[in-house]
Chain A
């Protein structure tokens, strides 16, 4: 079929709200945009295991430790769903991992901030997972079928992540003055990075318009950010904690909060690789991958031997 005809079929599907599936024809840029977005999303899940993994051995109780282990394991699973979704577009898993390790592919800026206290684990669950959920709920209706289906699974699992974070914050905020101070400090440090992880403002986000047209994104970064602020501020009030934004105030007319401008210079700097933990995160990933090489080789060798012996491993 000629390209013009194929383009028409594609456009009609998008218009109608049908999903695009792996074997369907799609414009080269649609494919490129999605490979970039899905693989970066996958990398974020995997790198996101690191800041929380930092506290597994120091969780304050067995209950918290079990929960944190389960959460970090979920993040690993989410990475795998997403890598699989990206692979359906014709990029290999190894290629994506190489792009992450070489620094060519990005991951969410938020994971380049350190987790200094236990309260940070609460703040990450509440704010970072909270912000991610806003984004991911929207992506359940994204136009690429495998991505949308991965999001449905992820959203189902993420809701416990946010609740466990808020529970940690609740206990600290209602605890001793020192504990409350830890909670406030974590909120202070994670508030702005959480707003920024939803991406640059619409003015600074050149890809948004096309992504909205292709229904990859159903809402712009600023729209998702507004929703996140509106939902989160009352949650902070219940904790008795203060959002670190002097410009934050209720705006009756728009039925939402007005809030201050994030430090976008910091955001772009972190994205470029100069955040507090970029080097540490990447080197931890590379090291884990290299240290696991023998396991992959042994498994491959075993499979090859078994299939030679006729024990048809695959």
Chain B
């Protein structure tokens, strides 16, 4: 097999409009950050889908692991009082 020379893997995040969060949209290969951002522009924003791009080396991302999904997110499950609908307010009260 030929030597690995596709550069490292970068995850691409695109902001579609000013003010919106950057959203993951895919990945590109590139040897450095400048080429990564240019490749990301060519691959993911050919139809003006973006106003801003972030590229992050894939190996720099730490992710939660799917096997632990249940127990990991469990602490939030029984805390319905974190939602506004948990609270009773008298009828007719406005701006609450």
Contacts and interface: CB of A to CB of B under 8 A. Distances in A.
A303 interface: yes
Contacts of B5: 94, 293, 296-297, 300
B33 A314 contact: yes
Contacts of A73: 46
B6 A94 contact: yes
Interface string A152-168: 01000100000000000
A98 B31 contact: no
Given A23-B63, A84-B26, A314-B57, A302 B6 contact: no
A87 B58 CA distance: 12
Interface in A55-108: 70, 73-74, 77, 80-81, 84, 87, 92-95, 98
A77 B32 contact: no
B65 interface: yes
A81 B31 CA distance: 18
Given A296-B5, A313-B34, A157 B47 contact: yes
A303 B9 CA distance: 14
Range of interface residues on chain B? 20 to 34
Contact of A77 (B3, B7, B8, B46): B46
B20 interface: no
Contact of B31 (A74, A77, A153, A303): A303
Interface string B18-40: 00000001111111111110000
A81 B43 contact: yes
A293 B9 CA distance: 18
A306 B32 contact: yes
Residues of A in contact with B, size category: 20 to 34
A250 interface: no
A21 interface: yes
B2 interface: yes
Interface string A191-227: 0000000000000000000000000000000000000
A51 B46 CA distance: 22
A95 B31 contact: no
B26 A81 contact: yes
A303 B7 contact: yes
Contacts of B6: 92-94, 296
B2 A77 contact: no
Contacts of A94: 1-6
Contact of A299 (B1, B4, B7): B7
B8 A314 contact: yes
A25 interface: yes
A299 B31 contact: yes
A252 interface: no
Given A77-B46, A297-B5, A314-B8, A93 B34 contact: no
Contacts of A306: 32
A80 B31 contact: no
A313 B26 contact: no
B43 A80 contact: yes
Contacts of B90: none
Contacts of A93: 6, 29
A46 B42 CA distance: 16
6 contacts: A23-B63, A94-B6, A157-B46, A299-B35, A300-B31, A314-B33
Interface of A: 1, 21, 23-25, 70, 73-74, 77, 80-81, 84, 87, 92-95, 98, 149-150, 153, 157, 293, 296-297, 299-300, 302-303, 306-307, 313-314
Q: 3 closest Cβ contacts across the A-B interface? A: A313-B32, A303-B31, A303-B32
Given A303-B31, A314-B31, 16 more contacts: A21-B66, A25-B66, A25-B67, A80-B28, A81-B26, A92-B6, A93-B6, A94-B3, A98-B1, A157-B47, A297-B5, A300-B7, A303-B35, A313-B31, A314-B8, A314-B32
